[in-house]
Amino acid sequence: MRTLSSITVGLAMALAALPLQAANDAAAGRSAAATCMGCHGAPGFRNAYPAFKVPKLAGQQEQYLVVALKSYQAGERIHPTMQAQAGALDEATIGNIAAYLGNLKNSGGGELGDGDAVAGQAKAQLCLSCHGSGGGKPLTPQYPILAGQYPDYLAHTLGSYKSGTRNNPIMKGFAAALSDTDIQDLAAYFASQPSELSTPTDW
């Protein structure tokens, strides 16, 4: 019969054998992200059908970027281009790209949307409990910054939660309750807020 100490030693050895979470390498992430920059490094670059600006990634929360890329891999987010892009990445490369982008802080925000940002502010109170003041200080590192994101992307992605092409149990319920006007107003409000999000241009 194994003694407690031999179990403990065995466990310690098993843990030692696990690859420690390698420190993410932002410099490697920068070169790996080169293929992404044709879309994400061109300010205002648009997705066609439907037309919306591709999201700002620089300054986004590192852990959220990992969650997002894995959601495309898992088919929880349906977007053929991004599913192909994310599908080509291994775990380490995802971590490195997220470290590179997440550390590119800039000052931005003040984007103008089609909706009514003042009306959006009143409607946003519930959202702030998770996305933080102005949508810029999320409750956890896995939640996205909304402040300063492109308004048409925010509106598009709220519509995706509603339609189910973006499948997330938390956001599904909140988005389901929103009218098209609510979506435009909320998108205008969050986009207008000061933010560290940007589209990198010096890659």
Q: Which of 6, 8, 31, 81 binds ligand HEC (CB under 6 A)?
A: 81
Pick 16 or 34: Cβ nearer ligand HEC:
34
Whole-Å CA distances, 163 to 46, 83, 124, 173, 183: 21, 18, 21, 11, 13
Q: Which two tokens stand for residue 91?
A: 């775990």
| Residues 74, 78, 167, 172, Cα dihedral to 10° | 160
Determine the size of the site formed for ligand HEC (CB under 6 A). 41
Closest CA to 111 of 120, 102, 99, 103: 120
Stretch that binds ligand HEC, among 10-18, 19-27, 102-110, 158-166 (CB under 6 A): 158-166
List residues binding ligand HEC (CB under 6 A).
Answer: 33, 35-36, 38-40, 47, 54-55, 57, 65, 67-69, 71, 77, 79, 81-82, 85, 89, 97, 126-127, 129-131, 143-144, 146, 149, 154, 157-158, 160, 166, 168, 170-171, 174, 186
